[in-house]
Amino acid sequence: MAFNQEEFVNLLADYYEFCNRVFWEHTTVAYPPAGGWPSINQDTMANLEKSDTAVDLLRHLPYVDFDPDRAFDPPHIMNKTNIVDYRNEKIQAKIRERCFDTYAEPCLGDNGPLPPSCVCFAVSEGRNGYNLVVDTADGNVYWCDPNGQHDEPGTELNDAIEQRYAGDEVQSWRVGGVNVYRPKDFFALCKERFRELRWIGIDACNVDSLRMDCEWSEDYEDHMFVVRRMQRAGWPGDGEGRDWDRLGFQASLYENESAGV
């Protein structure tokens, strides 16, 4: 299917607003001015070697403004996975220096960089998170686990992508520990992981998670402690991050764990 930039931008903005309501602090979702972010263009992004379509997407993405006195890194949108802010001077400097692996793109070794049509909108913190890539050529979101073994169930698109790129070593990043989604399905799934308390945002740079290849169990005592406090605070509220006691939940995290609830 063709890439729909307006749809992707709206879905990403909606997800950022969801995260902002649920667990980000001292943050504002920033929307581009008419014509896009002026600091993002083919000149500043040159070393990424992106297509005009990909750069235009970067120009029109929402980003997140945060208080640098309270957080060193941009907010996380899932466990150990932070937003790539292409407006940021540090990121642009890394791009100029061709040191963008792990800053603006996943580290693909001999198979990198990403194709010109692909944009990385979130990167893994070390090897403990995920890399999130959207391809403006096929319109898909690639959810990549750097360790090569995704914890989420595979998708129907996985099979199609594996067949399309079978034997293509340069494109092997699309199939090793990667799940492929249409954008609408991807963001809906992310929200669902928060609703069902597999993922719990503690603060802007801390998302506690119980991987999908792990069973619900009291063996995961720390996670279950937080689950109980979310439920006590009225989560999931309206399902979109409203109508629950966020402040009460945050205060409850400092209660004695021996309280038993």
Q: What share of the chain is helix, strand, coil (3-state, %, to 5)?
A: 35, 15, 50
Q: Name the band, by pLDDT with cuts 50, 70 and 90, for residue 107.
A: confident
The pLDDT value given to residue 71: 67
Strand partners, 142: 133, 180
Pair (102, 231) in one structural domain = no
Pair (23, 59) in one structural domain = yes
pLDDT per residue over 25-36, tens digit each?
999 999 999 999
Q: What is the DSSP letter of 147?
A: T
The answer as to whether 251 is a domain residue is yes
pLDDT per residue over 160-184, tens digit each?
999 999 989 889 899 889 999 999 9
The answer as to whether 64 is a domain residue is yes
Alpha-carbon separation of residue 255 from 202, 250, 252, 259 (angstroms): 14, 10, 5, 7
CB neighbours of residue 25 within 10 Å: 16
Alpha-carbon separation of residue 229 from 105, 244, 249 (angstroms): 36, 12, 6
The pLDDT value given to residue 1: 73
Alpha helices in 116-201 (DSSP H): 156-164, 183-195
pLDDT per residue over 68-101, tens digit each?
777 678 899 999 999 999 999 999 999 999 887 7
The answer as to whether 60 is a domain residue is yes
Domain count, the chain: 2
The pLDDT value given to residue 239: 98
Instruction: Inform me whether the pLDDT recorded for 109 exceeds 70.
Output: no
Pair 20, 63: CB distance under 8 Å: no
Q: Name the band, by pLDDT with cuts 50, 70 and 90, for residue 129.
A: very high
Pair (184, 237) in one structural domain = no
Pair (115, 44) in one structural domain = yes
pLDDT per residue over 228-238, tens digit each?
999 999 999 99
**Structural tokens at position 160:** 């199609």
Q: Which residues contact 107 (CB under 8 A, 6 or more apart)?
A: 101, 146
For residue 163, which phi and psi values (nearest 5 degrees)?
-70, -40
Q: What share of the chain has pLDDT > 90, as a percent?
A: 77
The pLDDT value given to residue 94: 93
The pLDDT value given to residue 213: 81
Pair 198, 209: CB distance under 8 Å: yes
66 or 220, which is more confident?
66
Q: What is the mean pLDDT of residues 115-142?
A: 95
The answer as to whether 200 is a domain residue is no
3-state secondary structure of 244: coil
Range of the domain at 227: 215-259
Pair (56, 128) in one structural domain = yes
- Angle between the 5-22 and 52-60 helix axes, to the nearest 10 degrees? 30
